[in-house]
Structure 1
Amino acid sequence: MGTRTARHPGETEEPAFGETWVYESIVSALPGANLAGAPAVALQLGVFLGAMVIVAAAYGLWQAVVPGVAAVAVAAVGSYLMLRLSEASRTAAAPSRYYRLLFGSSIEVVLAVLAFIALLTHLFVYEPQFAGEAPPLAAILPLPVEPATEPLVTALFGEEPPVVAVYLTLLVLWDLCYRIGTSWWAAVVSLYRELRLSDGTETATFRRLDVLNVGFAATQTLLLPFLFDRPVLLVAVGGHVGAVVVVSGAAVLLSLRND
């Protein structure tokens, strides 16, 4: 099993094909694109927040601005942490299989698609049929939850949602789903690395990466206050964060045995 040579932090060499998230590959292919962390996040925030304010003003949808700003902020912070995670991962010497799994497989896109389809099904099929009814999932919540009496799309955009507003919302939601898929896959690969690939080197580096991934997932908790009356979404987001904490935490504990 080959071991990939570590790339030193700050090196200007572009990552090779298969050593980036799909998100990085797409953005870096755009003419003049800059993935230098803060500037990229600032651009993302500016574009989405600007579009959100314009749409809210045009259609009088100010009730959707606060949750929208929270979602955009989570997506932007997630972008920054995802880039930090990938850049730091590429500076560590590890078996080539680890990098093929983490970046080259593009499994994070598959997970994101599954999450996004599940979200669309919930928003446009489940909620219109069962609005106001407590789902079985509500029983596992530590506090009683009173489900909203109208679907989330209706609560945000009214009975006749403007097409532009829904389009922008789905774009932001896809961004969030992609971040969820990426964080979950990074956690799974980290656990696999410690179970099957670890050779006792770079353990401190990988522990820092696992902690960074927990922080990456934890940004999603900023959405929870807006989901207290949406039990299914509350459990889904909270469950994702909890799962990443458990899996990444297991990877950290396993790495301690190699010190």
Structure 2
Amino acid sequence: MTGSDGDVNRRTATGNGDGPTFGDAWVYESLVGGIPGLRLTTRQAVSVQVVLFETLVLGVGAGYGLPARAVGAGTVAVGVAAAGSVAMLRIGAAARGATLSAAHRRLLFGSSVEVLFGVLSFTALTAYLVGGGAPTPLATLVGTEAPPVPVVFVALLLLWDLCYRSGTAWWAALVSLWRSGRYRVDAETARRCRRIDAATAGFALLELALVPVVWGDTLLVGALVSHVGAVAVVVTAATIRLRTAE
């Protein structure tokens, strides 16, 4: 099982080993676990993510003389994405540890719907940030009407990381609602399900740390708050609807 001290690489494409197999884990877990010869604990995997992304942010910031607000926004994004990675791993481990049907696992992990949600939100966000009239919101943030390609690359990389995690939180919430409407569970499984629901709500709440970064842009602030609120409502409904076996 992948937990706070687990090994995110203990899985194989054929299902051998003592960890979750492909199709039984988030795409993020499968990508990290699919690197040949690399065995990382959760803490190590997230640490590598933080160091790599923050190095990119500081590198393009120093190399292109970006304003402090742009570098600060990138750093906040790195922190939120890293915290989201920890939340994903904990939710995944809890879901695999609960006594729920194989159909639940297939829907949560194997369908990869969280990727679809991430792609949709990333496409919409990218269109808003780099499209339309000049100056674009991205250009305003970095202080130039024509941001250098490396700056745009790092910005889009961070945006994808955030959008993927946003999509994962939304999908986890929807699956929890489906689970509560479909199954009756024993007391121990109900306790685990409530932990999953609470972790999913906390996962979404992490995104509120981005509000100060986009403050002043009514559309982005509204989208963030609406997303977090929607996940909270769905997760609350899932918890309320959770039924235990008599």
- For the superposition of Structure 1 and Structure 2, which TM-score range results when normalised by the shorter chain? 0.7 to 0.9
Distance 2:87 2:172 in 1: 12
Distance of aligned partners of 1:108 and 1:249 in 2 relative to their CA distance in 1, 3 Å threshold: same
- 1:208-223 map, 5 Å: 208-223=195-210
Report the CA distance between 1:32 and its aligned residue. Answer: 3.7
Q: Where does 1:87-236 land on structure 2 (aligned, <5 Å)?
A: 87-126=93-132, 128=133, 150-157=135-142, 158-201=144-187, 202-236=189-223
Match of 1:4 in 2: none
Report the equivalent of 2:42: 37
What letter matches 2:97 in structure 1? Answer: T
Q: Contact (CA 8 Å) 2:76, 2:210: kept in 1 or not?
A: yes
2:173–2:200 CA contact under 8 A, matched in 1: yes
Go from structure 1 to structure 2 and tell me whether the alpha carbon gap of 1:113 and 1:86 turns closer, same or farther (over 3 Å shift): same
- Which structure carries more relative contact order (alpha carbon 8 Å, separation 6+)? 1
**TM-score scaled to structure 2, two decimals?**
0.88
Q: Is the CA contact (8 Å cut-off) linking 1:8 and 1:91 kept in structure 2?
A: no
Contact 1:85 1:213 in 2 (8 A): yes
- Answer whether contact 2:181 2:242 (CA < 8 A) is retained: no
Q: Which residue of 2 aligns with 1:49?
A: 54
Give the drift of 1:125: 2.3
Q: Indicate if the aligned counterparts of 1:34 and 1:40 stay in contact, CA closer than 8 A.
A: no
SS at match of 2:242: helix
TM-score (norm 1): 0.84
User: Would the alpha carbon gap of residues 222 and 38 (structure 1) be closer, same or farther in structure 2, given more than 3 Å must change?
Assistant: same
Match of residue 17, structure 1, among 5, 22, 32: 22
> 1:193 is matched by which residue type in structure 2?
R
Q: Return the alpha-carbon distance in structure 2 between the equivalents of residues 258 and 124 of structure 1.
A: 52
* Structure 1 residue 199: Cα displacement: 3.5
Q: Which moved more, 1:207-216 or 1:231-240?
A: 231-240
Equivalent residue pairs, number? 232
**Aligned Cα RMSD in Å?**
2.0
CA distance in structure 2 between the partners assigned to 1:203 and 1:8 by the alignment: 20
Q: Name which of structure 1's ranges 35-44 and 54-63 shifts more when overlaid on structure 2.
A: 35-44
Percent pairwise identity: 42
Once residues 250 and 34 of structure 1 are traced to their aligned partners in structure 2, the CA distance between those partners, rounded to angstroms, is 38
| Structural mapping, 1:246-257, within 5 Å | 246-255=233-242
Unaligned runs of 5+ in 2: 11-17
**For the Cα contact (< 8 Å) 1:98–1:197, is it kept in 2?**
no
What 5-or-longer segments of structure 1 have no aligned partner?
1-6, 130-149
| Letter aligned with residue 106 of structure 1 | S
